[in-house]
Structure 1
Protein backbone atom coordinates (compact mmCIF):
# COMPACT_ATOMS: atom_id res chain seq x y z
CA UNK A 1 0.00 0.00 0.00
CA UNK A 2 1.38 3.40 -1.01
CA UNK A 3 1.00 6.46 1.21
CA UNK A 4 1.64 10.14 0.61
CA UNK A 5 2.38 12.32 3.64
CA UNK A 6 1.71 16.05 3.40
CA UNK A 7 3.11 17.60 6.57
CA UNK A 8 5.16 20.75 7.19
CA UNK A 9 6.30 19.94 10.74
CA UNK A 10 9.48 17.87 10.60
CA UNK A 11 9.01 16.39 14.06
CA UNK A 12 5.42 15.37 13.28
CA UNK A 13 6.56 13.84 9.97
CA UNK A 14 9.27 11.78 11.67
CA UNK A 15 6.85 10.64 14.36
CA UNK A 16 4.17 9.56 11.87
CA UNK A 17 6.69 7.69 9.70
CA UNK A 18 8.07 5.89 12.75
CA UNK A 19 4.57 4.85 13.85
CA UNK A 20 3.71 3.62 10.35
CA UNK A 21 6.94 1.60 10.15
CA UNK A 22 6.12 -0.01 13.48
CA UNK A 23 2.37 -0.52 13.08
CA UNK A 24 1.86 -0.92 9.32
CA UNK A 25 5.05 -2.16 7.62
CA UNK A 26 3.00 -2.97 4.51
CA UNK A 27 2.63 0.78 3.88
CA UNK A 28 5.31 2.41 1.72
CA UNK A 29 5.67 6.18 1.91
CA UNK A 30 6.02 7.33 -1.72
CA UNK A 31 6.17 11.05 -1.08
CA UNK A 32 6.76 13.65 1.64
CA UNK A 33 5.47 17.16 0.92
CA UNK A 34 5.09 20.28 3.02
CA UNK A 35 3.15 22.80 0.92
CA UNK A 36 0.05 23.28 -1.22
CA UNK A 37 2.19 24.16 -4.24
CA UNK A 38 4.30 20.99 -4.07
CA UNK A 39 1.20 18.87 -3.38
CA UNK A 40 -0.60 20.13 -6.49
CA UNK A 41 2.49 19.47 -8.60
CA UNK A 42 2.86 15.97 -7.13
CA UNK A 43 -0.75 14.97 -7.88
CA UNK A 44 -0.50 16.30 -11.43
CA UNK A 45 2.57 14.19 -12.20
CA UNK A 46 2.21 11.09 -10.00
CA UNK A 47 -0.20 8.15 -9.76
CA UNK A 48 -2.87 8.36 -7.08
CA UNK A 49 -1.61 6.77 -3.84
CA UNK A 50 -3.67 4.40 -1.71
CA UNK A 51 -3.94 6.87 1.16
CA UNK A 52 -2.95 10.46 1.97
CA UNK A 53 -1.99 11.61 5.45
CA UNK A 54 -2.76 15.32 5.26
CA UNK A 55 -1.95 18.06 7.75
CA UNK A 56 -4.44 20.93 7.58
CA UNK A 57 -2.07 23.83 8.28
CA UNK A 58 0.72 23.76 5.69
CA UNK A 59 3.66 26.05 5.02
CA UNK A 60 1.76 28.13 2.44
CA UNK A 61 -1.84 27.92 3.65
CA UNK A 62 -4.77 25.64 4.41
CA UNK A 63 -4.71 22.14 2.93
CA UNK A 64 -8.34 22.56 1.91
CA UNK A 65 -7.12 24.81 -0.90
CA UNK A 66 -5.74 21.68 -2.58
CA UNK A 67 -9.26 20.41 -3.19
CA UNK A 68 -10.16 23.60 -5.04
CA UNK A 69 -7.75 22.60 -7.83
CA UNK A 70 -7.66 18.79 -7.95
CA UNK A 71 -9.69 15.75 -6.98
CA UNK A 72 -8.13 13.26 -4.59
CA UNK A 73 -9.94 9.97 -5.06
CA UNK A 74 -8.11 7.90 -2.44
CA UNK A 75 -8.93 7.88 1.30
CA UNK A 76 -7.57 10.81 3.29
CA UNK A 77 -6.54 10.75 6.94
CA UNK A 78 -6.27 14.28 8.29
CA UNK A 79 -3.64 15.08 10.91
CA UNK A 80 -3.91 18.35 12.79
CA UNK A 81 -3.41 20.04 16.14
CA UNK A 82 -6.88 21.60 15.83
CA UNK A 83 -10.29 19.99 16.18
CA UNK A 84 -12.56 22.58 14.55
CA UNK A 85 -12.23 21.21 11.00
CA UNK A 86 -13.79 17.77 11.50
CA UNK A 87 -16.96 18.33 9.47
CA UNK A 88 -15.13 20.11 6.67
CA UNK A 89 -12.67 17.20 6.53
CA UNK A 90 -15.56 14.76 6.19
CA UNK A 91 -16.75 16.53 3.06
CA UNK A 92 -13.51 15.84 1.18
CA UNK A 93 -13.18 12.07 1.32
CA UNK A 94 -11.72 11.86 4.81
CA UNK A 95 -11.96 8.52 6.60
CA UNK A 96 -10.44 9.77 9.85
CA UNK A 97 -9.27 12.87 11.66
CA UNK A 98 -6.28 12.51 13.99
CA UNK A 99 -5.37 15.15 16.54
CA UNK A 100 -1.68 15.79 17.16
CA UNK A 101 0.31 14.48 18.81
CA UNK A 102 -0.86 11.29 17.12
CA UNK A 103 -0.98 8.30 19.45
CA UNK A 104 -0.99 4.60 18.66
CA UNK A 105 -4.67 3.84 19.51
CA UNK A 106 -5.95 6.63 17.25
CA UNK A 107 -3.64 5.69 14.40
CA UNK A 108 -4.57 2.02 14.80
CA UNK A 109 -8.25 2.94 14.48
CA UNK A 110 -7.51 4.92 11.31
CA UNK A 111 -5.49 2.07 9.80
CA UNK A 112 -8.29 -0.39 10.49
CA UNK A 113 -10.71 1.91 8.66
CA UNK A 114 -8.25 2.20 5.81
CA UNK A 115 -8.13 -1.59 5.46
CA UNK A 116 -11.91 -1.71 5.23
CA UNK A 117 -11.92 0.91 2.48
CA UNK A 118 -8.98 -0.47 0.50
CA UNK A 119 -9.49 -1.94 -2.99
CA UNK A 120 -8.75 -5.44 -1.69
CA UNK A 121 -11.46 -5.15 0.93
CA UNK A 122 -13.92 -3.77 -1.62
CA UNK A 123 -13.21 -6.68 -4.00
CA UNK A 124 -13.79 -9.17 -1.20
CA UNK A 125 -17.15 -7.58 -0.28
CA UNK A 126 -18.30 -5.60 -3.36
CA UNK A 127 -21.82 -5.26 -2.05
CA UNK A 128 -20.66 -3.32 1.01
CA UNK A 129 -20.30 0.42 0.64
CA UNK A 130 -17.96 2.36 2.91
CA UNK A 131 -19.84 3.29 6.06
CA UNK A 132 -19.61 7.05 5.61
CA UNK A 133 -22.60 7.54 7.88
CA UNK A 134 -20.68 5.93 10.71
CA UNK A 135 -17.66 8.13 9.97
CA UNK A 136 -19.87 11.20 9.98
CA UNK A 137 -21.37 10.15 13.31
CA UNK A 138 -17.88 9.70 14.78
CA UNK A 139 -16.83 13.14 13.55
CA UNK A 140 -20.00 14.66 14.93
CA UNK A 141 -19.31 12.93 18.25
CA UNK A 142 -15.82 14.45 18.29
CA UNK A 143 -17.45 17.87 17.88
CA UNK A 144 -20.01 17.20 20.60
CA UNK A 145 -17.72 16.39 23.52
CA UNK A 146 -18.79 18.30 26.59
CA UNK A 147 -17.00 21.57 27.36
CA UNK A 148 -19.31 22.68 30.20
CA UNK A 149 -21.83 21.20 32.63
CA UNK A 150 -24.78 22.81 34.39
CA UNK A 151 -24.87 21.54 37.95
CA UNK A 152 -28.14 21.70 39.94
CA UNK A 153 -27.64 23.71 43.15
CA UNK A 154 -29.82 24.50 46.13
CA UNK A 155 -32.44 27.16 45.65
CA UNK A 156 -33.37 26.25 42.06
CA UNK A 157 -30.02 27.41 40.72
CA UNK A 158 -27.77 25.98 38.01
CA UNK A 159 -24.01 26.41 38.25
CA UNK A 160 -21.96 26.30 35.01
CA UNK A 161 -18.78 24.24 35.41
CA UNK A 162 -16.05 24.16 32.75
CA UNK A 163 -14.70 20.72 31.87
CA UNK A 164 -11.21 22.25 31.79
CA UNK A 165 -11.50 23.01 35.50
CA UNK A 166 -12.35 19.43 36.51
CA UNK A 167 -9.55 17.24 37.86
CA UNK A 168 -11.49 14.01 38.19
CA UNK A 169 -14.86 12.34 38.68
CA UNK A 170 -15.38 9.56 41.19
CA UNK A 171 -18.06 7.44 42.85
CA UNK A 172 -18.58 7.76 46.60
CA UNK A 173 -21.52 6.34 48.59
CA UNK A 174 -23.30 5.52 45.36
CA UNK A 175 -23.06 9.10 44.06
CA UNK A 176 -20.95 10.56 41.25
CA UNK A 177 -18.90 13.58 42.27
CA UNK A 178 -16.39 15.86 40.58
CA UNK A 179 -13.42 17.71 42.06
CA UNK A 180 -12.18 20.85 40.33
CA UNK A 181 -8.81 22.60 40.32
CA UNK A 182 -9.83 24.65 43.38
CA UNK A 183 -10.63 21.37 45.17
CA UNK A 184 -14.34 22.19 45.20
CA UNK A 185 -16.58 19.15 45.03
CA UNK A 186 -19.80 18.85 43.03
CA UNK A 187 -22.51 16.23 42.88
CA UNK A 188 -23.32 15.04 39.35
CA UNK A 189 -26.60 13.43 38.23
CA UNK A 190 -24.91 11.44 35.43
CA UNK A 191 -23.34 8.01 35.84
CA UNK A 192 -19.60 7.60 35.39
CA UNK A 193 -20.28 5.64 32.19
CA UNK A 194 -22.35 8.51 30.78
CA UNK A 195 -19.64 11.02 31.67
CA UNK A 196 -16.95 8.89 30.04
CA UNK A 197 -19.00 8.82 26.83
CA UNK A 198 -19.54 12.59 26.81
CA UNK A 199 -15.94 13.67 27.49
CA UNK A 200 -12.96 13.83 25.14
CA UNK A 201 -10.97 10.59 25.68
CA UNK A 202 -7.77 12.51 24.99
CA UNK A 203 -8.43 14.47 28.18
CA UNK A 204 -10.06 11.93 30.51
CA UNK A 205 -9.19 8.31 31.28
CA UNK A 206 -11.39 5.72 33.00
CA UNK A 207 -8.81 4.45 35.49
CA UNK A 208 -11.22 1.93 37.00
CA UNK A 209 -14.90 1.58 37.90
CA UNK A 210 -14.70 4.37 40.47
CA UNK A 211 -12.47 7.02 38.88
CA UNK A 212 -12.49 9.05 35.65
CA UNK A 213 -9.39 11.26 35.75
CA UNK A 214 -7.88 14.08 33.72
CA UNK A 215 -4.18 14.40 32.92
CA UNK A 216 -3.91 17.59 34.96
CA UNK A 217 -5.17 15.74 38.06
CA UNK A 218 -2.13 13.45 38.25
CA UNK A 219 0.54 14.33 40.81
CA UNK A 220 2.69 11.22 40.35
CA UNK A 221 2.42 7.46 39.90
CA UNK A 222 3.59 4.54 42.05
CA UNK A 223 4.38 1.06 40.83
CA UNK A 224 1.98 -1.23 42.66
CA UNK A 225 1.59 -4.90 43.38
CA UNK A 226 0.93 -7.44 40.60
CA UNK A 227 1.97 -5.08 37.81
CA UNK A 228 -0.61 -2.44 38.65
CA UNK A 229 -0.16 1.33 38.96
CA UNK A 230 -1.30 3.55 41.82
CA UNK A 231 -2.09 7.11 40.67
CA UNK A 232 -1.63 9.89 43.20
CA UNK A 233 -3.96 12.77 42.48
CA UNK A 234 -3.54 16.44 43.34
CA UNK A 235 -6.64 16.21 45.52
CA UNK A 236 -6.61 13.59 48.31
CA UNK A 237 -8.87 10.57 47.87
CA UNK A 238 -10.01 7.99 50.39
CA UNK A 239 -9.62 5.15 47.90
CA UNK A 240 -6.44 4.41 45.99
CA UNK A 241 -6.73 5.06 42.27
CA UNK A 242 -5.43 1.78 40.84
CA UNK A 243 -4.95 0.89 37.19
CA UNK A 244 -5.04 -2.83 36.48
CA UNK A 245 -2.09 -4.60 34.89
CA UNK A 246 -4.18 -5.22 31.75
CA UNK A 247 -4.71 -1.46 31.26
CA UNK A 248 -1.28 -0.14 32.20
CA UNK A 249 -0.09 0.09 28.57
CA UNK A 250 -3.30 1.87 27.52
CA UNK A 251 -2.94 4.31 30.42
CA UNK A 252 0.69 5.12 29.58
CA UNK A 253 -0.25 5.66 25.93
CA UNK A 254 -3.04 8.02 26.96
CA UNK A 255 -0.85 9.93 29.39
CA UNK A 256 1.93 10.71 26.92
CA UNK A 257 -0.30 10.97 23.84
Structure 2
Protein backbone atom coordinates (compact mmCIF):
# COMPACT_ATOMS: atom_id res chain seq x y z
CA UNK A 1 0.00 0.00 0.00
CA UNK A 2 1.27 3.46 -0.91
CA UNK A 3 0.43 6.21 1.55
CA UNK A 4 0.69 10.00 1.48
CA UNK A 5 1.03 11.93 4.75
CA UNK A 6 0.01 15.59 4.94
CA UNK A 7 1.11 16.89 8.33
CA UNK A 8 3.01 20.02 9.40
CA UNK A 9 4.31 18.69 12.73
CA UNK A 10 7.50 16.70 12.21
CA UNK A 11 7.05 14.64 15.37
CA UNK A 12 3.51 13.70 14.35
CA UNK A 13 4.49 12.67 10.81
CA UNK A 14 7.46 10.66 12.09
CA UNK A 15 5.28 8.93 14.65
CA UNK A 16 2.63 8.09 12.05
CA UNK A 17 5.28 6.71 9.70
CA UNK A 18 6.72 4.61 12.52
CA UNK A 19 3.29 3.23 13.43
CA UNK A 20 2.43 2.44 9.80
CA UNK A 21 5.65 0.49 9.31
CA UNK A 22 5.21 -1.32 12.63
CA UNK A 23 1.75 -2.45 11.49
CA UNK A 24 2.73 -3.42 7.95
CA UNK A 25 6.29 -3.31 6.65
CA UNK A 26 5.00 -3.31 3.07
CA UNK A 27 3.40 0.12 3.51
CA UNK A 28 5.32 2.74 1.55
CA UNK A 29 5.09 6.40 2.51
CA UNK A 30 5.45 8.03 -0.90
CA UNK A 31 5.72 11.57 0.46
CA UNK A 32 5.27 13.74 3.55
CA UNK A 33 3.87 17.22 2.87
CA UNK A 34 3.42 20.04 5.37
CA UNK A 35 1.35 22.69 3.59
CA UNK A 36 -1.65 23.40 1.40
CA UNK A 37 0.67 24.70 -1.31
CA UNK A 38 2.86 21.58 -1.49
CA UNK A 39 -0.26 19.37 -1.41
CA UNK A 40 -1.82 21.23 -4.34
CA UNK A 41 1.42 20.79 -6.25
CA UNK A 42 1.42 17.06 -5.46
CA UNK A 43 -2.15 16.49 -6.63
CA UNK A 44 -1.69 18.58 -9.78
CA UNK A 45 0.59 15.83 -11.11
CA UNK A 46 0.15 12.12 -11.62
CA UNK A 47 0.85 10.06 -8.50
CA UNK A 48 0.48 6.52 -7.21
CA UNK A 49 -0.70 7.21 -3.66
CA UNK A 50 -3.61 5.01 -2.61
CA UNK A 51 -4.50 6.53 0.75
CA UNK A 52 -3.98 9.94 2.41
CA UNK A 53 -3.53 10.72 6.09
CA UNK A 54 -4.26 14.43 6.36
CA UNK A 55 -4.05 16.83 9.30
CA UNK A 56 -6.62 19.64 9.41
CA UNK A 57 -4.36 22.55 10.35
CA UNK A 58 -1.30 22.90 8.10
CA UNK A 59 1.57 25.37 8.01
CA UNK A 60 -0.18 27.73 5.59
CA UNK A 61 -3.88 27.11 6.17
CA UNK A 62 -6.63 24.54 6.66
CA UNK A 63 -6.34 21.34 4.65
CA UNK A 64 -9.90 21.64 3.38
CA UNK A 65 -8.60 24.37 1.08
CA UNK A 66 -6.88 21.61 -0.88
CA UNK A 67 -10.24 20.16 -1.89
CA UNK A 68 -11.38 23.54 -3.21
CA UNK A 69 -8.55 23.64 -5.75
CA UNK A 70 -7.72 20.02 -6.48
CA UNK A 71 -9.53 16.76 -7.08
CA UNK A 72 -8.71 14.12 -4.48
CA UNK A 73 -9.87 10.81 -5.91
CA UNK A 74 -8.41 8.52 -3.26
CA UNK A 75 -9.62 7.86 0.31
CA UNK A 76 -8.68 10.35 3.03
CA UNK A 77 -8.25 9.68 6.74
CA UNK A 78 -8.09 12.92 8.69
CA UNK A 79 -5.82 13.15 11.72
CA UNK A 80 -6.97 15.77 14.18
CA UNK A 81 -6.37 17.11 17.65
CA UNK A 82 -10.01 18.24 17.78
CA UNK A 83 -12.10 16.19 20.13
CA UNK A 84 -15.77 16.50 21.08
CA UNK A 85 -17.18 18.44 18.18
CA UNK A 86 -14.81 16.82 15.70
CA UNK A 87 -16.27 13.43 16.56
CA UNK A 88 -19.76 14.65 15.76
CA UNK A 89 -18.61 16.45 12.64
CA UNK A 90 -16.76 13.50 11.17
CA UNK A 91 -19.48 11.01 12.03
CA UNK A 92 -22.09 13.30 10.55
CA UNK A 93 -20.12 13.58 7.33
CA UNK A 94 -19.21 9.87 7.22
CA UNK A 95 -15.49 10.55 6.92
CA UNK A 96 -12.74 8.46 8.45
CA UNK A 97 -10.66 10.14 11.13
CA UNK A 98 -8.09 9.45 13.83
CA UNK A 99 -7.69 11.55 16.96
CA UNK A 100 -4.20 12.62 18.01
CA UNK A 101 -2.15 11.23 19.57
CA UNK A 102 -2.77 8.36 17.17
CA UNK A 103 -3.34 4.99 18.77
CA UNK A 104 -1.71 2.04 17.00
CA UNK A 105 -4.75 -0.22 17.32
CA UNK A 106 -7.07 2.45 15.91
CA UNK A 107 -4.65 3.05 13.04
CA UNK A 108 -4.56 -0.68 12.31
CA UNK A 109 -8.37 -0.74 12.26
CA UNK A 110 -8.44 2.18 9.80
CA UNK A 111 -5.99 0.40 7.49
CA UNK A 112 -7.99 -2.81 7.68
CA UNK A 113 -11.18 -0.94 6.89
CA UNK A 114 -9.50 0.60 3.86
CA UNK A 115 -8.32 -2.80 2.63
CA UNK A 116 -11.74 -4.40 3.09
CA UNK A 117 -13.80 -1.59 1.57
CA UNK A 118 -11.20 -0.54 -0.99
CA UNK A 119 -13.23 2.58 -1.70
CA UNK A 120 -10.93 3.90 -4.39
CA UNK A 121 -12.48 7.36 -4.25
CA UNK A 122 -12.17 10.57 -2.33
CA UNK A 123 -14.69 12.52 -0.27
CA UNK A 124 -17.22 14.75 -2.01
CA UNK A 125 -17.69 18.52 -1.90
CA UNK A 126 -20.66 18.43 0.46
CA UNK A 127 -18.70 16.47 3.04
CA UNK A 128 -15.82 18.95 2.93
CA UNK A 129 -18.14 21.95 3.15
CA UNK A 130 -19.93 20.47 6.16
CA UNK A 131 -16.69 19.90 8.02
CA UNK A 132 -15.29 23.30 7.12
CA UNK A 133 -18.40 25.05 8.44
CA UNK A 134 -18.22 23.19 11.74
CA UNK A 135 -14.49 23.74 12.21
CA UNK A 136 -14.66 27.45 11.44
CA UNK A 137 -17.79 28.28 13.43
CA UNK A 138 -16.91 26.44 16.64
CA UNK A 139 -14.15 27.54 18.94
CA UNK A 140 -12.63 25.31 21.54
CA UNK A 141 -13.29 26.46 25.11
CA UNK A 142 -11.02 24.87 27.65
CA UNK A 143 -12.25 24.02 31.11
CA UNK A 144 -10.95 26.37 33.80
CA UNK A 145 -12.53 24.67 36.83
CA UNK A 146 -13.27 21.06 37.74
CA UNK A 147 -15.83 20.11 40.36
CA UNK A 148 -13.99 17.52 42.44
CA UNK A 149 -14.84 15.57 45.55
CA UNK A 150 -13.03 14.87 48.79
CA UNK A 151 -14.76 12.93 51.53
CA UNK A 152 -18.29 14.38 51.62
CA UNK A 153 -17.44 17.69 49.93
CA UNK A 154 -17.64 18.97 46.37
CA UNK A 155 -14.92 21.52 45.66
CA UNK A 156 -14.38 23.81 42.63
CA UNK A 157 -10.74 23.26 41.67
CA UNK A 158 -8.96 25.60 39.25
CA UNK A 159 -7.41 23.71 36.34
CA UNK A 160 -4.18 25.71 36.62
CA UNK A 161 -3.60 24.24 40.10
CA UNK A 162 -3.70 20.65 38.88
CA UNK A 163 -0.27 19.04 38.39
CA UNK A 164 -1.62 15.88 36.81
CA UNK A 165 -4.62 13.60 36.47
CA UNK A 166 -4.12 9.91 37.11
CA UNK A 167 -6.10 6.71 37.38
CA UNK A 168 -5.78 5.26 40.88
CA UNK A 169 -7.40 1.84 41.37
CA UNK A 170 -9.98 2.63 38.74
CA UNK A 171 -10.76 6.13 40.02
CA UNK A 172 -9.59 9.32 38.29
CA UNK A 173 -7.74 11.61 40.67
CA UNK A 174 -6.67 15.22 40.20
CA UNK A 175 -3.40 15.82 42.03
CA UNK A 176 -2.64 19.47 42.75
CA UNK A 177 0.73 21.21 42.84
CA UNK A 178 0.58 21.15 46.66
CA UNK A 179 0.08 17.37 46.57
CA UNK A 180 -3.61 17.11 47.40
CA UNK A 181 -5.62 14.45 45.59
CA UNK A 182 -9.28 14.81 44.65
CA UNK A 183 -11.62 12.39 42.93
CA UNK A 184 -12.99 13.46 39.57
CA UNK A 185 -16.24 11.99 38.31
CA UNK A 186 -15.11 11.84 34.67
CA UNK A 187 -13.21 9.47 32.45
CA UNK A 188 -9.62 10.41 31.61
CA UNK A 189 -10.59 10.52 27.93
CA UNK A 190 -13.32 13.09 28.63
CA UNK A 191 -10.99 15.20 30.77
CA UNK A 192 -8.40 15.22 28.00
CA UNK A 193 -10.94 16.74 25.63
CA UNK A 194 -11.54 19.65 28.00
CA UNK A 195 -7.90 20.63 28.52
CA UNK A 196 -5.62 22.95 26.59
CA UNK A 197 -3.23 20.60 24.79
CA UNK A 198 -0.47 23.21 25.00
CA UNK A 199 -0.56 22.98 28.80
CA UNK A 200 -1.60 19.36 29.39
CA UNK A 201 -0.48 16.18 27.65
CA UNK A 202 -1.76 12.61 27.73
CA UNK A 203 1.40 10.78 28.74
CA UNK A 204 -0.11 7.30 28.67
CA UNK A 205 -3.33 5.50 29.54
CA UNK A 206 -3.00 6.40 33.23
CA UNK A 207 -1.72 10.00 33.25
CA UNK A 208 -2.44 13.48 31.89
CA UNK A 209 0.38 15.83 32.90
CA UNK A 210 0.56 19.59 33.33
CA UNK A 211 3.70 20.93 31.64
CA UNK A 212 4.57 22.94 34.76
CA UNK A 213 4.66 19.75 36.82
CA UNK A 214 7.44 18.11 34.79
CA UNK A 215 10.80 18.12 36.60
CA UNK A 216 12.85 16.11 34.11
CA UNK A 217 12.90 13.21 31.66
CA UNK A 218 15.04 10.10 31.98
CA UNK A 219 15.86 7.65 29.23
CA UNK A 220 14.48 4.16 29.66
CA UNK A 221 15.04 0.93 27.79
CA UNK A 222 13.77 0.47 24.22
CA UNK A 223 13.65 4.21 23.57
CA UNK A 224 11.07 4.89 26.26
CA UNK A 225 11.12 7.83 28.67
CA UNK A 226 10.41 8.18 32.37
CA UNK A 227 8.81 11.46 33.42
CA UNK A 228 9.59 12.80 36.86
CA UNK A 229 6.95 15.19 38.18
CA UNK A 230 6.35 17.40 41.17
CA UNK A 231 4.65 16.43 43.37
CA UNK A 232 6.24 13.00 43.03
CA UNK A 233 4.00 10.23 41.74
CA UNK A 234 4.15 6.88 43.50
CA UNK A 235 3.61 5.23 40.12
CA UNK A 236 6.29 5.47 37.44
CA UNK A 237 5.18 7.56 34.46
CA UNK A 238 6.47 5.94 31.27
CA UNK A 239 6.27 7.40 27.76
CA UNK A 240 6.34 4.80 24.99
CA UNK A 241 8.97 4.91 22.26
CA UNK A 242 6.29 5.79 19.69
CA UNK A 243 5.24 8.87 21.67
CA UNK A 244 8.62 9.91 23.08
CA UNK A 245 9.48 12.40 20.33
CA UNK A 246 6.02 13.92 20.41
CA UNK A 247 6.21 14.33 24.18
CA UNK A 248 9.63 16.00 24.03
CA UNK A 249 8.41 18.37 21.31
CA UNK A 250 5.36 19.25 23.42
CA UNK A 251 7.50 19.84 26.49
CA UNK A 252 9.87 22.09 24.56
CA UNK A 253 7.17 24.10 22.81
TM range (shorter): 0.5 to 0.7
Q: How does 1:1-257 map to 2 (within 5 A)?
A: 1-8=1-8, 13-14=13-14, 16-46=16-46, 49-79=49-79, 82-83=81-82, 86=86, 90=90, 94-99=95-100, 106-118=103-115, 121-122=116-117, 148-151=145-148, 158-162=155-159, 165-169=162-166, 178-181=174-177, 183=178, 185-188=180-183, 190=185, 194-200=186-192, 202-203=201-202, 205=204, 207=206, 214=209, 216=211, 217=213, 219=215, 233-235=229-231, 240-241=234-235, 257=246
The 1-side partners of 2:17 and 2:30 are apart by 11
TM-score (norm 1): 0.56
Distance in 2, Cα, partners of 1:198 & 1:45:
42
1:92-114: CA deviations, max 9, x gaps? Answer: 76422343xx5xx6244223212
Q: Secondary structure at the match of 1:199?
A: helix
CA pair 148-60 structure 1, distance change in 2 beyond 3 A: same
- Judge which range, 30-39 or 88-97, deviates more: 88-97
Could you give the per-residue CA deviations for residues 74-94 of structure 1, whole angstroms, max 9, x where no partner exists?
A: 3323345x5378359726764
1:139 alignment counterpart: none
Give the count of matched residue pairs: 211
Paired with 2:19 and 2:167, the residues of 1 have a C-alpha distance of 34
> Max radius of gyration: which structure?
1
Which structure 1 residue ranges, 5 or more long, are not aligned? 124-142, 224-228
* C-alpha contact 1:95 1:114 (8 A) present in aligned 2: no
TM-score (norm 2): 0.56
Contact 2:163/2:230 (<8 A) preserved: no
Q: Secondary structure at the match of 1:86?
A: helix
8 Å contact kept, 1:232–1:241: no
Query: Over aligned residues, Cα RMSD in angstroms?
Result: 4.8
Q: What secondary structure is seen at the aligned counterpart in 1 of 2:156? A: strand
Q: Relative contact order: is structure 1 or structure 2 higher (C-alpha 8 Å, sep ≥ 6)?
A: 2
In the alignment, is the contact (CA less than 8 A) between 1:231 and 1:241 conserved in 2?
no
Distance 1:164 1:54, change over 3 A: farther
